[in-house]
């Protein structure tokens, strides 16, 4: 269908909302993006852009500026405390790699692309409901309604107030901080490293490149923490934390010493993606998981590309929504299941599961065939989610940009 003149309203200026707004305006849609912040800004730590998400950004011509700011990641290694036995070793397939990037760097690129393409931004817009229909609307907390739109999108993340949300908060969250990367030290620029003590304690260091041109190289340092223990951690003070970091991973103490950590809480939930007629959810508002598989931002990019591709290829909005769900539901369900099954092996109070991880699962994953399967899972390529979207057909003919790895 032709998108010229299609009115679209999106709630949430995160990865999915910004990417979707950019894609749709480039095809001629009129997009208004509502965000609760006084001015849209990045929220969150560094992450790894996997080949799936990278192909989406390549299709809309935004991969190069992200790759320039980020750091190529060739391997992910997890060891038991003090640098002991490796229990996780994921390598990319030949010719593939991840790109570790600060969220602020990705946000800046996506935000500028959205503005340049003609997206209209409405800040300080607190939304708590949707009125579906032929002309759908957002409902604001003060009772006002947004202007009618042909399609409304909830991209407000795991804490979206739209739709039923059971108590889905995971028992473990994390402290994370962005710190200067210690060149010449114990850490490698192309490696995501983690240390574990059972499943109750985990730390990680991820090189994430620069926020913008001329800025220093940074790393994300993260420390798993039971959510109910956060107040205890605060009360204990910095020295107690540094002592705990030293016992788990001495090399990481200098990073923790200068960190200004933020406490992140995580949810695992799967909502119905269709709110009602001409109203749908994308990204974490539809499917939120723990960060163990690192797929959140990549899945949001896939959702945005899928919905855009479906609108371009379908005859009308209803058919496009149906097509979008066919393209995405199996991939989403698979990773929701995998996240639910695998997370307790790395973040939980269990003693049995990490023992199985260390003494049974870890040796099996070193086998050649199993290693390839693990790589497919971590890169997000299970069930070929990009191939289903026909990105080159949807975007290549219109933007002149071809998909590349």
103: its two tokens: 């969220």
DSSP state of 251: G
Q: Which long-range contacts (CB under 8 A, 24 or more apart) does 336-344 make?
A: 336/268, 336/270, 336/287, 336/289, 338/293, 338/377, 339/268, 339/289, 339/290, 339/292, 339/293, 339/295, 340/268, 340/289, 342/292, 342/293, 343/170, 343/268, 343/289, 343/290, 343/292, 344/199
Instruction: Judge whether 323 and 314 are in contact, CB under 8 Å.
Output: yes
- Percentage of the chain lying above the pLDDT 70 cut: 96
Q: Which residues contact 38 (CB under 8 A, 6 or more apart)?
A: 123, 124
- Percentage of the chain lying above the pLDDT 90 cut: 81
**Residue 372: closest CA among 28, 121, 46, 93:** 93
The Cα–Cα gap between 376 and 35 comes to 34
| Residue 264: CA count within 13 A, CB half-sphere | 20
Sorted by where each starts, the structural domains of the chain and their CATH numbers stand as 7-167+267-399 (3.50.50.60)
Predicted confidence (pLDDT) per residue in 45-57, tens digit? 899 999 999 999 9
The Cα–Cα gap between 49 and 209 comes to 12
pLDDT value at residue 72: 97
Predicted confidence (pLDDT) per residue in 125-158, tens digit? 999 999 999 999 999 999 999 999 999 999 999 9
The Cα–Cα gap between 86 and 26 comes to 47
The Cα–Cα gap between 310 and 91 comes to 33
- Taking the CB of residue 351, how many other CB atoms lie within 10 A of it? 10
Residue with tokens 């940074």, as numbered in its chain:
218
9: its two tokens: 């309203």
DSSP state of 124: S
**Residue 245: closest CA among 197, 187, 206:** 197
Task: Note down pLDDT in tens along the chain; length 405 residues.
Answer: 999 999 999 999 999 999 999 999 999 999 999 999 988 778 778 999 999 999 999 999 999 999 999 999 999 999 998 667 888 888 898 889 999 999 999 999 999 999 999 999 999 999 999 999 999 999 999 999 999 999 999 999 999 999 876 678 999 999 999 999 999 989 999 999 999 999 999 999 999 999 998 999 999 999 999 999 999 999 999 999 999 999 999 999 999 999 999 999 999 999 999 999 999 999 999 999 988 888 999 999 999 999 999 999 999 999 999 999 999 999 999 999 999 999 999 999 999 999 999 998 888 888 878 888 888 988 899 999 999 998 888 887 443 333 333
């Amino acid at each position: 269908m032709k998108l010229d003149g299609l009115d679209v309203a999106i709630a949430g200026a995160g990865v999915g909302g910004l990417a979707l707004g950019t894609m749709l305006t480039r095809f001629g849609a009129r997009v208004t993006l509502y965000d609760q912040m006084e001015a849209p800004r990045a929220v969150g730590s560094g992450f790894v852009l996997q080949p799936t998400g990278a192909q989406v950004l390549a299709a809309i011509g935004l991969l190069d500026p992200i790759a320039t700011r980020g750091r190529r990641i060739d391997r992910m290694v997890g060891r038991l405390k003090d640098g002991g036995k490796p229990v996780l070793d994921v390598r990319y397939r030949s010719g593939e790699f991840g790109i570790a990037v600060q969220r602020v760097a990705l946000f800046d690129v996506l935000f500028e692309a959205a503005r340049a393409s003609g997206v209209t931004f409405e800040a300080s817009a607190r939304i708590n409901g949707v009125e579906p229909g032929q002309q759908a609307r957002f409902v604001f907390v003060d009772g006002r309604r947004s202007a009618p739109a042909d399609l409304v999108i909830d991209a407000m993340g795991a804490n979206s107030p739209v739709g039923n949300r059971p108590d889905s908060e995971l028992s473990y969250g994390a402290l994370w901080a962005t710190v200067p990367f210690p060149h010449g030290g114990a850490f490698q620029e192309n490696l995501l490293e983690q240390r574990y003590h059972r499943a109750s304690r985990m730390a990680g260091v991820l090189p994430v490149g620069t926020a913008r041109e001329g800025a220093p190289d940074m790393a994300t340092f993260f420390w798993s923490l039971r959510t109910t223990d956060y107040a205890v951690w605060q009360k204990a003070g910095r020295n107690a934390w540094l002592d705990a970091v030293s016992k788990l991973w001495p090399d990481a103490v200098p990073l923790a010493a200068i960190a200004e950590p933020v406490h992140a809480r995580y949810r695992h939930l799967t909502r119905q993606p269709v709110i009602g007629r001409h109203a749908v959810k994308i990204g974490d508002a539809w499917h939120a998981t723990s960060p163990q598989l690192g797929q959140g931002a990549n899945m949001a990019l896939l959702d945005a590309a899928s919905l855009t591709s479906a609108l371009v290829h379908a005859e009308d909005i209803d058919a496009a929504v149906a097509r979008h769900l066919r393209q995405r539901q199996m991939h989403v369900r698979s990773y929701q299941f995998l996240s639910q099954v695998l997370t307790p092996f790395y973040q939980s109070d269990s003693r049995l599961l990490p023992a199985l991880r260390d003494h049974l699962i870890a040796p099996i994953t070193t086998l050649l065939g199993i290693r390839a399967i693990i790589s497919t899972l971590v890169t997000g390529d299970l069930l070929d989610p990009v191939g289903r979207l026909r990105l080159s057909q949807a975007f290549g003919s219109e933007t002149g940009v071809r998909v590349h790895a």
